[in-house]
């Protein structure tokens, strides 16, 4: 049974074309039960298409979506909490009535639906608006109602397309907590977002999609491991001399600080704006242990205030992959 | 979730959404007012034409010989005449209202009724009328005076007016009207059939439009994507059609019953030579058959577009398919109720809902013909379901521009 429990949601080699446009190209990934999976990619990369196929709203040209080892059928689909990219609710229908209706369409009894809708609208801060028509709510509140629609029927799987867009910081916190809570209860959670800091913070694993193909999948830490590690030295002493010396060490090369994200340019101890005390070099991988040699040399030449591995942020990885797309195109 | 439960949930939502909107309640109230108001107006007109009016004319003693002439002209005009004798002064007091001055209500009612007075001499008669606009009085009195003058002159010449009149009467041709209006030819049955056909047209068009608008509302608000992530497109369309259909049926039964009810309440039933209950039953049956066919088609066609303003153009062919048969039923059927063309057309599913009730209201339709029309309509429904389901499944998730018919009819991949 443990094998089945960890199988979760598998997306296997999906292909989908719209005429000449190839929206998905052998797109594969899996989301284990209890895992929050962040789905990132530039606009038009295929996130929405993949999610719509997972929900059966769209048919794939080839490939399969499985839940616990079996192809997803209507029975499983009715237990998916889905938030489409294009928000959709009946504008003239009252919030409460509408959510109860949708929860019942997902198989809940009337009593359970009423209780769940009360609970979720309260939790998402729109409990006072249950009697209002959806179109009378602000966009942000409509978004909360949309989330309630995805959550109210106690879904076994969550597929959310851009659930955080349009939410205020408080709602973002509530939403993050809800996703974590659902995952902890064993629900696989897939969501797409362009708010990469958020994805980095919340997700157990991340998939970066480009031109319909999953380019990179892994935990944020796994993805951050680069082929050529970069090191940063915050140095008290003659920085120019240190830089010149490192340039002579075999197996490394110094880098311009411009290549780094803004918050990595200075030493953390000196605060922002102290970038002139920092040297960054890249290990080209030809001499294992070369970073120790550089560290010793630096210590011999002055005070090493900080010596650390530069870890690219998700945004950097994303930019790398997107720019590769630019080259390919 | 099983299909029946999904359809039932969609059905209940649709019915509630249709029944309880302000616009629908108002339009139902307006139609009810029109039907009941129309029946009441018909009853008033009928009352008026049923009662023969009585005209009260007074003569002074000297003009008593005018009496027989007045009686004759009044009879010719189809008016009952009540003759009295009084002086010119009394008559004037009655006509100008001075006689009624200062009297109690009961005493006023007890005064003799009078519309005109004729006195004076033969050569210069005096006529006083209460209402100068009453053309009947003018016609009767001047006719009588002219006849008397003619009689006097003819007698003076040694002739006899009655023999002349008899000769004139013989010379009058007896007209037989060949070109009757449809209303004259068929009598009240025509009116009932017209009302039933209009009711059918209005309810069919409004219900079919409701389906189309409902489909596009779900598309344009994108709620369809959430719905279709949990139920099948065919279940959604079926629930919607049943929900709107139930509301349409309620309209037909409610308004039809209001029409029949007000006819019965106003005592007009005896004057309608057709079986109202049967007409209503046929109307309901043809509504159900017609609605099923049109609702499926309107739903399928509407699914091809994504904006409310495109509904009109995409459903235009269907609207013609409703309105065309309606016009044929209203104009062609009364003109030639038994022609081969009418008999063939009224068997065809799209035409039958309008033409069959019209035919059976205006004459008798053989049972086998009615049965065949019903059987053909019922047999068409599975084919329409197939086409509609196919178009709808493809169209409903197609966002953006209008989908081509050919594209929509392709097999769902």
- The pLDDT value given to residue A101: 95
Tokens of A163: 């659930």
Please report, for chain B, the start and end positions of each structural domain, with discontinuous segments joined by +: 3-46+183-409, 52-165
Q: Are strands A189-192 and A36-41 parallel, antiparallel or unpaired?
A: parallel
- The pLDDT value given to residue B293: 92
* B134: exposed, middle or buried (Cβ count in 10 Å: 0-12, 13-18, 19+): middle
CA dihedral B148, B153, B157, B161 (to 10 degrees): -30
Which portions of chain A are predicted below pLDDT 70? 1-6, 258-275, 324-329
Distance from CA of B383 to the nearest CA of A (A): 25
Q: Chain-centre distance of CA A66, in angstroms?
A: 21
Report the residue from A58, A104, A149 with minimal CB separation from B9: A104
- Under the banding of pLDDT at 50, 70 and 90, the label for residue B264 is confident
Report the residue from A88, A91, A101 with minimal CB separation from B9: A101
Q: Chain-centre distance of CA B316, in angstroms?
A: 26
- The pLDDT value given to residue A130: 93
- The pLDDT value given to residue B141: 86
Tokens of B183: 């209303």
pLDDT in tens, B166-199: 787 777 666 666 666 666 666 677 777 888 888 8
pLDDT in tens, B102-114: 788 888 777 888 8
pLDDT at B303 over 80: yes
Give which of B225, B233, B236, B393 to mutate to test A binding, by max A Cβ within 10 Å.
B225
A63–B contact, CB cutoff 8 A: no
pLDDT in tens, B70-111: 888 888 777 888 888 888 888 888 888 887 887 888 887 778
- The pLDDT value given to residue B1: 59
- The pLDDT value given to residue B243: 92
B17–A contact, CB cutoff 8 A: yes
- The pLDDT value given to residue B108: 79
- The pLDDT value given to residue B179: 63
Q: Say whether domain A2-224 belongs to CATH 3.40.50.300.
A: yes
Its ipTM equals 0.75
Contact (Cβ atoms closer than 8 angstroms) between residue B258 and residue B196: no
A147–B contact, CB cutoff 8 A: no
A93/B224 Cβ within 8 A: no
Neighbour count for residue A56 (Cβ, 10 Å): 20
Q: Is the pTM of this model over 0.95?
A: no
Three-class SS state of A257: helix
- Burial of B145-155, coded b for 16+ CB within 10 Å and e otherwise, reads bebbeebeebe
- The pLDDT value given to residue A315: 80
Contact (Cβ atoms closer than 8 angstroms) between residue A24 and residue A50: yes
Strand partners, A18: A21
Distance from CA of B50 to the nearest CA of A (A): 53
Report the residue from A55, A61, A91 with minimal CB separation from B229: A55
Rg, Å, chain A Cα set: 24
pLDDT in tens, B346-380: 899 889 999 988 888 777 788 888 899 999 999 99
Contact (Cβ atoms closer than 8 angstroms) between residue A189 and residue A37: yes
- The pLDDT value given to residue B297: 93
Contact (Cβ atoms closer than 8 angstroms) between residue A134 and residue A145: yes
Distance from CA of B219 to the nearest CA of A (A): 9
pLDDT in tens, A241-296: 888 888 888 888 888 776 666 555 554 444 444 467 888 888 887 888 888 888 99
Tokens of A108: 């809940």
Chain A residue with Cα closest to B21: A92
- Under the banding of pLDDT at 50, 70 and 90, the label for residue B271 is low
pLDDT in tens, B380-411: 999 999 899 888 888 888 776 778 877 777 76
Q: Say whether domain B52-165 belongs to CATH 3.30.360.10.
A: no
A84/B1 Cβ within 8 A: no
A62–B contact, CB cutoff 8 A: no
Chain A residues whose CB is inside 8 A of the B413 CB are: 59, 61
Distance from CA of A49 to the nearest CA of B (A): 12
């Amino acid at each position: 049974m443990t094998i089945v429990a960890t199988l979760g949601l598998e997306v296997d080699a999906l292909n989908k074309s719209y005429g000449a446009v190839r929206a998905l190209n052998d797109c594969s990934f899996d989301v284990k039960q209890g895992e929050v999976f962040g789905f990132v990619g530039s606009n038009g990369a295929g996130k929405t298409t993949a999610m719509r196929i997972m929900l059966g709203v769209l048919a794939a040209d080839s490939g399969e979506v499985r839940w616990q080892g079996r192809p997803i059928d209507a029975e499983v689909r009715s237990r998916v909490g889905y938030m489409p990219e294009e928000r959709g609710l009946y504008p003239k229908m009252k919030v409460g009535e509408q959510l109860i209706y949708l929860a019942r369409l997902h198989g809940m009894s009337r009593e359970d639906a009423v209780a769940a809708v009360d609970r979720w609208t309260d939790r998402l801060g729109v409990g006072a608006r249950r009697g209002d028509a959806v179109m009378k709510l602000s966009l942000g509140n409509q978004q909360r109602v949309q989330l309630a629609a995805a959550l109210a029927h106690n879904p076994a799987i969550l597929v959310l397309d851009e659930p955080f867009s349009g939410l205020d910081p408080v709602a973002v916190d509530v939403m993050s907590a809800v996703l974590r809570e659902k995952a902890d209860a064993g629900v696989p959670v897939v969501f797409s977002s362009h708010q990469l800091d958020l994805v980095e913070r919340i997700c157990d694993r991340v998939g970066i999609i480009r031109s319909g193909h999953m380019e990179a999948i892994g935990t944020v830490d796994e993805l951050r491991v680069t082929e050529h590690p970069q090191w940063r030295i915050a140095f008290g002493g003659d920085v120019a001399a240190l830089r010149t010396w490192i340039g002579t060490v075999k197996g490394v090369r110094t880098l311009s600080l411009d290549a780094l994200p803004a918050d990595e340019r200075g030493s953390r101890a000196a605060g922002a704006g102290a970038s002139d005390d920092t040297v960054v070099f890249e290990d080209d991988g030809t001499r294992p242990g070369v970073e120790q040699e550089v560290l010793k040399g630096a210590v011999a030449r002055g005070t090493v205030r900080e010596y650390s591995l530069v870890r690219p942020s998700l945004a950097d990885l994303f930019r790398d992959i997107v720019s590769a797309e630019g080259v390919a195109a | 979730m099983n299909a029946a439960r999904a359809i039932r949930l969609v059905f209940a939502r649709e019915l509630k959404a249709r029944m309880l909107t302000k616009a629908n309640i108002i339009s139902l109230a307006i139609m009810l007012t029109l039907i009941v108001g129309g029946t009441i107006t018909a009853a008033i007109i009928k009352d008026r034409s049923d009662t023969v009016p009585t005209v009260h004319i007074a003569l002074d003693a000297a003009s008593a010989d005018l009496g027989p002439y007045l009686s004759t002209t009044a009879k010719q005009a189809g008016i009952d005449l009540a003759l009295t004798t009084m002086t010119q002064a009394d008559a004037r007091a009655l006509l100008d209202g001075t006689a009624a001055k200062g009297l109690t209500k009961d005493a006023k009612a007890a005064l003799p009724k009078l519309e005109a007075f004729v006195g004076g001499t033969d050569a210069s008669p005096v006529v006083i009328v209460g209402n100068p606009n009453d053309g009947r009085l003018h016609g009767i009195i001047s006719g009588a005076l002219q006849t008397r003058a003619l009689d006097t002159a003819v007698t003076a010449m040694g002739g006899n007016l009655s023999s002349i009149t008899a000769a004139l009467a013989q010379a009058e041709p007896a007209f037989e009207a060949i070109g009757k209006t449809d209303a004259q030819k068929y009598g009240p049955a025509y009116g009932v059939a017209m009302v039933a056909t209009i009711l059918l047209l209005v309810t069919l068009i409004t219900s079919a439009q409701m389906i189309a608008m409902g489909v596009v509302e779900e598309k344009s608000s994108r709620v369809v994507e959430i719905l279709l992530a949990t139920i099948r497109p065919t279940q959604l369309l079926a629930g919607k059609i049943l929900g709107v259909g139930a509301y349409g049926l309620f309209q037909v039964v409610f308004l039809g019953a209001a029409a029949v009810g007000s006819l019965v309440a106003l005592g007009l039933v005896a004057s309608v030579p057709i079986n109202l209950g049967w007409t209503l039953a046929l109307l309901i049956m043809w509504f159900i058959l017609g609605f099923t066919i049109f609702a499926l088609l309107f739903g399928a066609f509407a699914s091809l577009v994504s904006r409310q303003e495109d509904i009109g153009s995409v459903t235009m062919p269907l609207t013609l398919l409703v309105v065309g048969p309606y016009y044929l039923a209203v104009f062609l059927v009364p003109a030639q109720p038994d022609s081969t063309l009418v008999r063939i057309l009224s068997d065809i599913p799209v035409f039958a809902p309008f033409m069959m009730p019209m035919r059976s209201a205006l004459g008798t339709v053989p049972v086998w013909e009615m049965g065949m029309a019903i059987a053909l309509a019922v047999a068409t429904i599975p084919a329409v379901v197939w086409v509609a389901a196919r178009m709808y499944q493809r169209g409903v998730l197609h966002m953006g521009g209008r989908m081509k018919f050919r594209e929509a009819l392709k097999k769902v991949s």
